[in-house]
Structure 1
Amino acid sequence: MSNLLAIDTIYLEPAVAAYPLGREILERFGPARRIEVASHWNIPELHGNAGSVEDWVRIKRSTLVLGVKKGLASRPNGRSAHFIAPSSSNGCAMACAYCYVPRRKGYANPITLFVNTEAIGRAIARHAAGQGPLPAPDQIDDRHWVYDLGENGDLSVDAMASGGVRDLVGLFRGIPNAKASFATKFVNPDLLAYRPEGKTRIRFSLMPERIARVVDVRTSPMPERIAAIDAFVAAGYEVHVNFSPVILYEGWEEDWRALFRALEAGIGPAAKAQLKAEIIFLTHNAALHEVNLRWHPKAEALLWRPDIQETKRSEGGMENLRYRTGWKGRWLSRFKALLAEELPYCGVRYAF
């Protein structure tokens, strides 16, 4: 196991050991200290504990939370996927400075794994059965309803701690009208043995390497992500890329041009023939900005740009910062033109 995880403490809900996956995870991390909690959402040492920000990375490496997923509904999406599936996890061992999950979970958000993946899988299968065939090709997919499995975490990292990801990939092999999808910033070669048979789309997130070294903390290096694409295509995955987040700074266009050229040189004909992209410009958050200043202020020099950003209140009442509307449209047009020039075969599924 890589040094991304060195679990020494597990917080768990009382019911966890009643599930086969729960027992599998507990056995995998047998020496770890176990602390029983009433709810995976209510752990004072982790959630809302301002003092833990100084231990941000240590907590991500050493702490695991296990719970039982209560809500099993699939929600409409219409952007990256048709539906957001009930999540099998929440939080992450990586520490990207712009990640939105800490906004909801407090100052520390290590991986929370849900052990009732069989119930999650049954709920997804029932929902897909109720959809019937995809009426017509759309921006999301040509043939299948697409379910995003990784809204609040990174399944490539989750797979280091649990067999639940393997089971979900296997689930979609048997759902004729649906496909799984998740984004990742971590190359986990174990996934190559999962036999997706074209029914799981993995989206490798990419950005210029020199910026990633500042904001993509504890992730796989960009050359490693690009180098993995051919292997994942050969293993039966549909592989797309997320150009995300696009962060604006002096010289951003030339850095992205270099990334596009590295991608062109780094993948073969089979990958290029099926390659599509999402483009997502940065959204930041005022509360996360304050947290980051206490553990990673260097990142904030890139992320916090009130001179070119505007405030927008989120549906949850949070103060988010996005690039100013009129300017963002022009920058997005420039980005898409640059992509078309360098990678003309890479269609854009979604841009925001």
Structure 2
Amino acid sequence: MTTALAAPAPTRLWMPSRVLVTRSAAERPHGQRILARLEAAGVSDVELLGGDRLPNLRGNGDRAAFMAAKQTLAVVVPPASKRRLQPIPPSADWRFDLAEGCPAHCQYCYLAGSLSGPPITRVFADLDEQLTALDGYVGHGAVTSGTAARGDEGTTFEASCYTDPLALEHLTGGLARAIEFFGTHAWPGPVQLRATTKFDDVAGLLDLPHAGRTRLRFSVNAAAVARRLEGATSPVPQRVAALAAVAAAGYPVGLTIAPIMPGEGWREEYGELLDSVAAALPAGTDLTVECITHRFTPGSKETLTDWYPRTKLEMDPEVRTTKRGKFGSVKHVYPKETMSELRGWFTAAIAERLPEARLLYWT
């Protein structure tokens, strides 16, 4: 039996400077709940649109336009084509999007290469309908469902592929609603909701009837990486405190160590990170670890240098190994020798410092 821990006081609560709500979104129950939360949070610039098309948000493509987009929240109903769930290896069987876009300013942001257009955050107002449509995916999938290595997780649904749901939770309540649904719904088979975050506002999640069917993971990094490159996120120590609080509330939890970067003193800094997690977690915590090394594409490099022209992030193809996908896509990763050294160190360090943790994958 776990002992309850108080949730840390939230260190970051994003307040958009502009909110756009489409007509169809405002008609949905979840859209109406979001409008109520926005009012309660004191968000004043909320525009109810007459139709379902968002206005042109591209601006002049300059820094001011980028910042305006990052401060904009749109509440929308996505087209049906976007609601057909897609596999999302190596994380989960299916990608289940609560939103697209993120208010944080991580200078390595992988969304830069994944989402097109201005970097506004779009929250989906059809959550209730989509939750009830998930039964048809249960028992299907090739990442966890029916596999020898991870079959105990059941059919898994990843809610943070294209967003950080906890960053938006105080404005939407969508993550809590999904957790409660997963915990109380009569599913046709074993399931798990998965979500990753760089934020710490977990107080509203601790008392939910989650039934152990949601694994909350916290994205963490070495102190130097987080300090230099993870703007507008909660500090790593507060993320670790939030991790401990949800673990004490009975959730299965996880570490997403990403993106791993072998900077100066990396062994010491990542070792200190793992030690801090080991010291914080209650005994018997169900803990998984996912390790993701830094990589970039030509397109993401171009976008990120536009977004963050003063970044010190290393994105030099000359010191990387180029990997090509079957359709000609290009990705720049660390050389084989560096990857081998990193993997060997992390595998040993995790086994030593967090002996009960399961390392799900390395990439």
> Same fold by TM (over 0.5)?
yes
Answer yes or no: is 1:34 the counterpart of 2:47: yes
Q: 1:196 aligns with which of 210, 228, 235?
A: 210
Alignment of 1:105 onto 2:150: no
Per-residue deviation, 1:156: 0.8
**Alpha carbons of 1:33 and 1:72: their partners in 2 closer, same or farther (altered >3 Å)?**
closer
* Structure 1, unpaired ranges of 5+: none
SS at match of 1:151: coil
Q: 2:77 aligns with which of 47, 52, 68?
A: 68
In 2: Cα distance, 1:127 partner to 1:44 partner: 36
CA distance in structure 2 between the aligned counterparts of 1:224 and 1:149, rounded to whole angstroms: 22
Asked if 1:222 is matched to 2:232, the reply is no
Matches within 5 A, 1:1-352: 4-30=13-39, 31-34=44-47, 36=49, 43-46=55-58, 51-54=61-64, 56-57=66-67, 59-60=69-70, 62-69=71-78, 70=80, 71-85=82-96, 87-106=97-116, 108-128=118-138, 138-173=148-183, 174=185, 175=187, 176-189=189-202, 190-271=204-285, 274-299=286-311, 301-313=312-324, 319-352=330-363
Q: CA deviation at 1:297?
A: 4.3
Q: CA deviation at 1:19?
A: 0.6
Inter-partner Cα distance in structure 2 for 1:119 and 1:54 = 37
Code of the aligned partner of 1:296 = Y
How far apart are 1:178 and its partner, in Å?
0.7
Q: Does the Cα contact within 8 Å between 2:219 and 2:255 map onto a contact in 1?
A: yes
SS of alignment partner, residue 284 of structure 2: helix
CA distances 1:35-54 after superposition (whole Å, capped 9, x unpaired): 638666x65324xx562434
How far residue 184 of structure 1 moved from its aligned partner, in angstroms, is 0.8
Q: For the residues of structure 1 that align with 2:177 and 2:201, how far apart are their CA atoms?
A: 16
Write the deviation string for residues 186-211 of structure 1: whole angstroms up to 9, x where unpaired: 11122223321201001111111221
Asked if structure 2 preserves the Cα contact closer than 8 Å seen for 1:195 and 1:235, the reply is no
Higher relative CO (Cα under 8 Å, sequence separation at least 6) belongs to 2
Consecutive unaligned residues of structure 2, counting only runs of 5 or more, are 1-9
| Partner SS for 2:138 | helix
| 1:177 alignment partner AA | P
Q: Deviations over 1:20-44 (max 9, x none)?
A: 111222233343241638666x653
* Aligned mates of 1:317, 1:307 — CA distance in 2: 19
The change in CA–CA distance for 1:311 and 1:43 in structure 2 (over 3 A counts) is: farther
- Cα distance change of structure 1 residues 230 and 334 upon mapping to structure 2, 3 Å threshold: closer
2:300 is aligned with what amino acid?
A: L
Alpha-carbon distance in 2 for matches of 1:288, 1:38: 32
Deviation at 1:219, TM superposition (A): 1.0
Deviation track 1:261-296 (CA, whole Å, cap 9, x = no partner) reads 22222222132xx22201111112333333433453
Residue 338 of structure 1 aligns to which amino acid in structure 2?
A: A
One-letter amino acid of the structure 1 residue matched with residue 274 of structure 2 = F
TM-score (norm 2): 0.83
Residue type matched to 1:246 in 2?
Answer: I
Distance of aligned partners of 1:16 and 1:256 in 2 relative to their CA distance in 1, 3 Å threshold: same
Q: Does the C-alpha gap of structure 1 residues 124 and 206 become closer, same or farther in structure 2, counting only changes over 3 Å?
A: same
CA–CA distance in structure 2, aligned partners of residues 24 and 135 of structure 1:
33
Q: CA RMSD in A?
A: 2.8
Q: Which moved more, 1:117-126 or 1:290-299?
A: 290-299
Asked if 2 retains the 8 angstrom alpha-carbon contact of 1:148 and 1:180, the reply is: yes
Report how far residue 14 of structure 1 moved: 2.8
| Offset, 1:338 | 2.8
Moved over 6 A (4+): none
Q: SS of the counterpart of 1:77?
A: coil
CA deviations over 1:76-128 (Å, ceiling 9, x no partner): 3342112223x121001112111222334346423210100112112212221
Percent of residue pairs bearing the same amino acid type? 24
User: CA 1:146–1:297 in 2, change beyond 3 Å: closer, same or farther?
Assistant: same
